[in-house]
Amino acid sequence: MQTVTSHDAPQGVRQVDIGPERDGQRIDNALVTLLKGVPKSMIYRLLRTGQVRVNGKRAKPDTRLSAGDTLRIPPVRTAEKAPDRGPSAEMVAAVAEAVIFEDKHFLAIDKPSGIASHGGSGVSHGAIELLRAARPDQHLELVHRLDRDTSGVLVFAKTRAGLTGLQAAIRAGEVTKQYLCLMVGHPPKARFDVNAPLLKSVLQGGERMVRVSGNGKPSLTFFREMEQLTGARLMQATLGTGRTHQIRVHAAHIGHPLAGDTKYGDREANKRFREKGLQRLFLHAAHMGFELEGRAYGFSAPLPDDLKNFLDVLGDKGKSNRWLRPAAPRPGPRKQNR
């Protein structure tokens, strides 16, 4: 990327020419890296007030950049930061040892819960920063994201062709994403779809919240029961679209939020489950599949031990664990946007 400051612009305004390495990247994520040391809350305020522009037009947080765009960044005062000591060796090792697949285009890991996909919002080092620390001589880019508390398959690109190819497949709805989640209570059907539009908002401080709204974007999730348990159901959720917090909000919308969800969940149910040993959100990215350049890719990650052990507490240890094997995706329209 080449950065050029216009001499005709007010002092401190930057005019940034977007290169191919940021083609398709969301503008809020780009600004996090371009404005190091600036709180996310300030970045979103700059976007809301129209101070950030792409090709002369106001940009929204979900605006995607294209190679050749001109990005206007206003003057921003940054607080002086203490020197970055870098991630701990333990954190680097935890991510480096989580690799489940690698070829010339991609690297996939089974991301542990508690590690963010990338740094920001009070997180110094996410999975991408940890992998870059473990492999300083390799070029790695984050293709998609998982919430910090969500475990499972997370894919990185090692080449430009891999990055743009997979991101294009995600936008076209040509990627299968399946999750395992624990719903509070007993949904009335073993198979059902939730087709409810989702609207995303950013609260003061940069926290993202999503709700069902007629003004939101079309959102579709296919749910399938995998196991019946005391006070809960283990479900497979296949994404028809890829909205932020989609599975969590759709589950809460039908009255059966995910166990351990502190943002959209049931506080009393979470307390009961916590007393039984569940210490985090029960949501795991179990499988991701797609085709690129004539090759079929499929990445799978087994349910982590802490979640398997909690299922043993709720259920009968003698039952066959069908949920250890990712099932085939539910047929239906798919159109993922991330």
**Residues 28, 110, 147, 266: which is the catalytic one?**
147
Q: How far is CA 275 from CA 272, 279, 301, 313, 314, in A?
A: 5, 9, 27, 11, 12
Q: Average pLDDT, stretch 91-96?
A: 88
Bridge partners (DSSP) of residue 238 are 178, 222
pLDDT score of 105: 94
pLDDT confidence bin for 204, thresholds 50/70/90: low
Is residue 37 scored above 80 in pLDDT? no
Q: What is the reported pLDDT for 125?
A: 82
Mark whether 147 is an active-site residue: yes
What distance in Å separates the CA atoms of residue 238 and residue 275, rounded to the nearest whole number? Answer: 29
Tell me: the pLDDT tens digits for 112-161? 999 988 876 566 788 999 999 999 888 899 999 999 999 999 999 999 89
pLDDT reported for residue 331: 42
- Contact by Cβ (8 Å): 50, 58: yes
CA distances from 311 to 107, 178, 259, 287 (A): 30, 19, 12, 19
Q: What is the pTM of this model?
A: 0.72
pLDDT of residue 113: 94
Dist. CA 150–CA 165, nearest whole Å: 25
pLDDT, mean over the chain: 85
Identify the residue with better confidence: 318 or 162.
162
| pLDDT of 5 strictly over 80 | no
Phi, psi dihedral angles at 2 (to 5 degrees):
-105, 130
- Provide the pLDDT for residue 146: 94
Which helix (H) or strand (E) segment holds residue 267: the answer is helix 267-275
